[in-house]
Amino acid sequence: MAENIKLKVGVLISGNGSNLQSIIDACEDPNFPAELSIVISNKAEAYGLGRAKKANIKTKVIEHQNFQHRSDFEKNITKALINANVELVCLAGFMRILTDTFVYSWKDRLINVHPSLLPIFKGLNTHQRAIECGVKFSGCTIHFVSSSMDEGPIILQAAVPVHQNDTSKSLAERVLDAEHKLYPMAIRLFANKKIWIENDLVKFTNIEDHNEILINPNIKN
Ligand code: GRF
Protein backbone atom coordinates (compact mmCIF):
# COMPACT_ATOMS: atom_id res chain seq x y z
CA MET A 1 0.00 0.00 0.00
CA ALA A 2 1.40 3.40 -0.96
CA GLU A 3 2.22 5.56 2.05
CA ASN A 4 0.28 8.56 0.77
CA ILE A 5 -3.10 6.86 0.59
CA LYS A 6 -3.27 6.04 4.28
CA LEU A 7 -6.09 7.58 6.27
CA LYS A 8 -4.82 10.32 8.57
CA VAL A 9 -6.00 9.81 12.13
CA GLY A 10 -5.98 12.22 15.08
CA VAL A 11 -6.41 10.85 18.61
CA LEU A 12 -7.72 12.85 21.57
CA ILE A 13 -6.68 11.63 25.02
CA SER A 14 -6.72 12.74 28.64
CA GLY A 15 -4.80 10.03 30.45
CA ASN A 16 -3.11 6.66 30.21
CA GLY A 17 -3.55 6.16 26.49
CA SER A 18 -3.58 2.36 26.37
CA ASN A 19 -6.10 2.55 23.52
CA LEU A 20 -3.83 5.02 21.81
CA GLN A 21 -1.03 2.48 22.23
CA SER A 22 -3.12 -0.18 20.50
CA ILE A 23 -3.62 2.20 17.56
CA ILE A 24 0.11 3.07 17.50
CA ASP A 25 0.93 -0.66 17.43
CA ALA A 26 -1.60 -1.31 14.64
CA CYS A 27 -0.14 1.54 12.56
CA GLU A 28 3.28 -0.12 12.72
CA ASP A 29 1.96 -2.80 10.37
CA PRO A 30 2.79 -1.52 6.86
CA ASN A 31 -0.51 -2.98 5.64
CA PHE A 32 -2.60 -1.05 8.16
CA PRO A 33 -4.61 1.48 6.11
CA ALA A 34 -4.22 4.41 8.54
CA GLU A 35 -1.49 6.50 10.13
CA LEU A 36 -1.39 8.74 13.18
CA SER A 37 -1.01 12.42 12.31
CA ILE A 38 -1.42 13.95 15.75
CA VAL A 39 -2.25 13.14 19.36
CA ILE A 40 -3.92 15.91 21.34
CA SER A 41 -4.33 15.90 25.11
CA ASN A 42 -6.29 18.28 27.29
CA LYS A 43 -3.94 17.36 30.15
CA ALA A 44 -0.22 18.11 30.07
CA GLU A 45 0.54 15.21 32.40
CA ALA A 46 -1.30 12.56 30.34
CA TYR A 47 0.83 9.41 30.20
CA GLY A 48 -0.35 8.80 26.64
CA LEU A 49 1.63 11.84 25.42
CA GLY A 50 4.84 9.95 26.21
CA ARG A 51 3.57 6.93 24.26
CA ALA A 52 3.01 9.16 21.22
CA LYS A 53 6.39 10.88 21.53
CA LYS A 54 8.13 7.51 21.79
CA ALA A 55 6.50 6.55 18.50
CA ASN A 56 7.55 9.89 16.93
CA ILE A 57 3.99 11.10 16.57
CA LYS A 58 3.28 14.81 16.73
CA THR A 59 1.65 15.81 20.02
CA LYS A 60 -0.15 18.89 21.22
CA VAL A 61 -1.42 19.86 24.65
CA ILE A 62 -4.56 22.01 24.62
CA GLU A 63 -5.63 22.49 28.23
CA HIS A 64 -9.31 23.20 28.66
CA GLN A 65 -8.74 25.34 31.75
CA ASN A 66 -6.86 27.89 29.64
CA PHE A 67 -10.06 28.79 27.84
CA GLN A 68 -12.97 30.70 29.25
CA HIS A 69 -15.35 29.27 26.69
CA ARG A 70 -15.63 25.64 25.66
CA SER A 71 -16.07 26.79 22.06
CA ASP A 72 -12.59 28.38 22.03
CA PHE A 73 -11.05 25.22 23.48
CA GLU A 74 -12.69 23.17 20.75
CA LYS A 75 -11.78 25.64 17.99
CA ASN A 76 -8.15 25.15 18.97
CA ILE A 77 -8.54 21.39 18.81
CA THR A 78 -10.16 21.58 15.38
CA LYS A 79 -7.43 23.93 14.15
CA ALA A 80 -4.72 21.49 15.27
CA LEU A 81 -6.56 18.56 13.68
CA ILE A 82 -7.02 20.40 10.39
CA ASN A 83 -3.37 21.54 10.38
CA ALA A 84 -2.41 17.88 10.73
CA ASN A 85 -4.74 16.97 7.80
CA VAL A 86 -6.76 14.67 10.02
CA GLU A 87 -9.56 12.74 8.30
CA LEU A 88 -10.78 10.65 11.26
CA VAL A 89 -10.82 11.74 14.91
CA CYS A 90 -10.62 9.01 17.57
CA LEU A 91 -11.57 9.77 21.16
CA ALA A 92 -9.58 7.45 23.40
CA GLY A 93 -10.19 8.20 27.06
CA PHE A 94 -10.80 11.88 26.28
CA MET A 95 -12.59 13.14 29.39
CA ARG A 96 -14.27 16.30 28.09
CA ILE A 97 -17.81 16.53 26.81
CA LEU A 98 -17.80 17.95 23.29
CA THR A 99 -20.32 20.53 22.10
CA ASP A 100 -22.77 19.96 19.28
CA THR A 101 -20.76 22.38 17.16
CA PHE A 102 -17.62 20.27 17.43
CA VAL A 103 -19.51 17.02 16.92
CA TYR A 104 -21.31 18.43 13.89
CA SER A 105 -18.11 19.72 12.32
CA TRP A 106 -16.63 16.20 12.52
CA LYS A 107 -19.91 14.43 11.72
CA ASP A 108 -19.37 10.81 10.64
CA ARG A 109 -15.61 11.29 11.13
CA LEU A 110 -15.53 11.17 14.95
CA ILE A 111 -15.48 7.89 16.86
CA ASN A 112 -15.27 6.91 20.51
CA VAL A 113 -14.60 3.87 22.66
CA HIS A 114 -16.88 3.27 25.63
CA PRO A 115 -16.31 0.54 28.24
CA SER A 116 -19.77 -1.05 28.19
CA LEU A 117 -22.15 -2.69 25.78
CA LEU A 118 -24.06 0.46 24.84
CA PRO A 119 -26.79 1.54 25.22
CA ILE A 120 -26.47 0.11 28.75
CA PHE A 121 -24.18 1.86 31.25
CA LYS A 122 -23.57 5.20 29.57
CA GLY A 123 -21.39 7.61 31.50
CA LEU A 124 -18.82 6.85 34.21
CA ASN A 125 -18.15 3.95 36.64
CA THR A 126 -19.40 1.44 34.08
CA HIS A 127 -17.61 -1.57 35.59
CA GLN A 128 -18.83 -1.01 39.15
CA ARG A 129 -22.36 -0.54 37.85
CA ALA A 130 -22.12 -3.71 35.75
CA ILE A 131 -20.98 -5.70 38.80
CA GLU A 132 -23.69 -4.23 41.03
CA CYS A 133 -26.35 -5.02 38.42
CA GLY A 134 -25.21 -8.63 38.26
CA VAL A 135 -24.92 -8.69 34.48
CA LYS A 136 -23.12 -11.81 33.28
CA PHE A 137 -21.51 -10.10 30.30
CA SER A 138 -20.11 -6.65 29.89
CA GLY A 139 -17.85 -5.34 27.16
CA CYS A 140 -17.04 -2.34 25.06
CA THR A 141 -18.38 -0.37 22.14
CA ILE A 142 -16.80 1.65 19.35
CA HIS A 143 -19.33 4.12 18.00
CA PHE A 144 -19.64 7.24 15.91
CA VAL A 145 -20.16 10.23 18.17
CA SER A 146 -23.48 12.04 18.14
CA SER A 147 -24.45 15.07 20.18
CA SER A 148 -25.79 12.97 23.09
CA MET A 149 -23.17 11.50 25.41
CA ASP A 150 -22.22 7.88 24.67
CA GLU A 151 -24.71 7.69 21.83
CA GLY A 152 -24.32 7.44 18.10
CA PRO A 153 -24.21 4.67 15.49
CA ILE A 154 -22.49 1.55 16.86
CA ILE A 155 -19.60 0.22 14.77
CA LEU A 156 -18.28 -2.68 16.85
CA GLN A 157 -18.90 -4.33 20.19
CA ALA A 158 -17.12 -7.06 22.11
CA ALA A 159 -18.61 -8.99 25.00
CA VAL A 160 -16.53 -10.22 27.94
CA PRO A 161 -17.72 -12.34 30.87
CA VAL A 162 -18.26 -10.84 34.31
CA HIS A 163 -16.91 -13.27 36.90
CA GLN A 164 -18.50 -13.69 40.31
CA ASN A 165 -15.40 -12.41 42.14
CA ASP A 166 -14.67 -9.54 39.74
CA THR A 167 -13.77 -6.13 41.08
CA SER A 168 -14.20 -3.04 38.94
CA LYS A 169 -10.41 -3.21 38.40
CA SER A 170 -10.34 -6.82 37.20
CA LEU A 171 -13.35 -6.27 34.96
CA ALA A 172 -11.84 -3.05 33.58
CA GLU A 173 -8.68 -4.95 32.62
CA ARG A 174 -10.65 -7.62 30.77
CA VAL A 175 -12.73 -5.00 28.98
CA LEU A 176 -9.64 -2.94 28.12
CA ASP A 177 -8.09 -5.98 26.42
CA ALA A 178 -11.16 -6.12 24.20
CA GLU A 179 -11.02 -2.35 23.56
CA HIS A 180 -7.44 -2.72 22.35
CA LYS A 181 -8.52 -5.28 19.77
CA LEU A 182 -11.60 -3.38 18.71
CA TYR A 183 -10.29 0.14 18.13
CA PRO A 184 -7.81 -0.78 15.39
CA MET A 185 -10.49 -2.98 13.77
CA ALA A 186 -12.87 -0.03 13.64
CA ILE A 187 -10.23 2.26 12.14
CA ARG A 188 -9.39 -0.38 9.55
CA LEU A 189 -13.06 -0.75 8.55
CA PHE A 190 -13.46 3.03 8.29
CA ALA A 191 -10.23 3.51 6.33
CA ASN A 192 -11.12 0.74 3.91
CA LYS A 193 -14.60 2.27 3.44
CA LYS A 194 -16.21 -0.97 4.58
CA ILE A 195 -18.85 0.77 6.69
CA TRP A 196 -21.36 3.54 6.18
CA ILE A 197 -24.19 5.08 8.15
CA GLU A 198 -27.80 4.65 7.09
CA ASN A 199 -30.67 5.93 9.26
CA ASP A 200 -28.32 6.22 12.25
CA LEU A 201 -27.17 2.61 11.93
CA VAL A 202 -23.76 1.41 10.80
CA LYS A 203 -23.98 -0.85 7.76
CA PHE A 204 -21.23 -3.11 6.44
CA THR A 205 -20.49 -3.40 2.74
CA ASN A 206 -19.55 -7.03 3.14
CA ILE A 207 -21.51 -9.35 5.40
CA GLU A 208 -18.35 -11.43 6.01
CA ASP A 209 -16.68 -8.37 7.56
CA HIS A 210 -19.69 -8.11 9.82
CA ASN A 211 -19.43 -11.75 10.89
CA GLU A 212 -15.73 -11.32 11.66
CA ILE A 213 -16.37 -8.52 14.11
CA LEU A 214 -18.71 -10.54 16.28
CA ILE A 215 -16.18 -11.11 19.06
CA ASN A 216 -17.56 -13.11 21.93
CA PRO A 217 -15.94 -14.77 24.90
CA ASN A 218 -15.05 -18.42 25.07
CA ILE A 219 -17.65 -19.34 27.69
CA LYS A 220 -15.59 -22.26 28.99
CA ASN A 221 -13.05 -19.80 30.46
C1 GRF B 1 -11.12 3.26 28.40
O2 GRF B 1 -11.69 2.31 29.24
C3 GRF B 1 -12.17 3.86 27.51
O4 GRF B 1 -13.18 2.97 27.18
C5 GRF B 1 -12.71 4.97 28.35
O6 GRF B 1 -11.61 5.49 29.05
C7 GRF B 1 -10.62 4.48 29.16
C8 GRF B 1 -9.37 5.04 28.57
O9 GRF B 1 -8.28 4.19 28.77
N10 GRF B 1 -13.42 5.93 27.52
P11 GRF B 1 -6.89 4.51 28.07
O12 GRF B 1 -6.54 5.95 28.39
O13 GRF B 1 -7.04 4.28 26.61
O14 GRF B 1 -5.92 3.56 28.71
Domain 1-106 indexed as CATH 3.40.50.620 = no
The confidence score (pLDDT) of residue 4 equals 58
For residue 162, CA distances in Å to 129, 141, 178 come to 12, 16, 13
Q: How far apart are CA 15 and CA 18, in angstroms?
A: 9
The confidence score (pLDDT) of residue 61 equals 98
The confidence score (pLDDT) of residue 211 equals 77
Number of residues written out for the chain: 221
Q: Helix count (H) and strand count (E) of the chain? A: 7, 9
**Which tens digits make up the pLDDT trace of 145-168?**
998 888 999 999 999 999 999 999
Specify the residue with its C-alpha closest to ligand 1, atom 2: 115
Which segments of the chain belong to CATH 3.40.50.170?
1-106, 113-221
SS3 content of the chain, % helix, strand, coil (to 5): 35, 25, 40
The confidence score (pLDDT) of residue 220 equals 57
Q: Which of 64, 69, 114, 127 is catalytic?
A: 114
Cα 113 to averaged position of ligand 1 atoms, centre (Å): 7
The confidence score (pLDDT) of residue 208 equals 80
**The ligand 1 atom nearest the CA atom of 94:** 10
Q: In which residue ranges of the chain is pLDDT below 50?
A: 2, 221
Ligand 1 contacts CB of residue 139 (under 6 A) = no
The confidence score (pLDDT) of residue 217 equals 65
Ligand 1 contacts CB of residue 153 (under 6 A) = no
Q: How far apart are CA 155 and CA 201, in angstroms?
A: 8
The confidence score (pLDDT) of residue 1 equals 52
| Architecture of the domain whose range is 113-221 | 3-Layer(aba) Sandwich (3.40)
151 contact partners, CB below 8 Å, separation of at least 6: 118, 119, 122, 143
The confidence score (pLDDT) of residue 206 equals 85
Instruction: List the 59-61 sheet strands across, edge first.
Output: 59-61, 34-41, 7-13, 88-91, 110-114, 137-144, 154-161
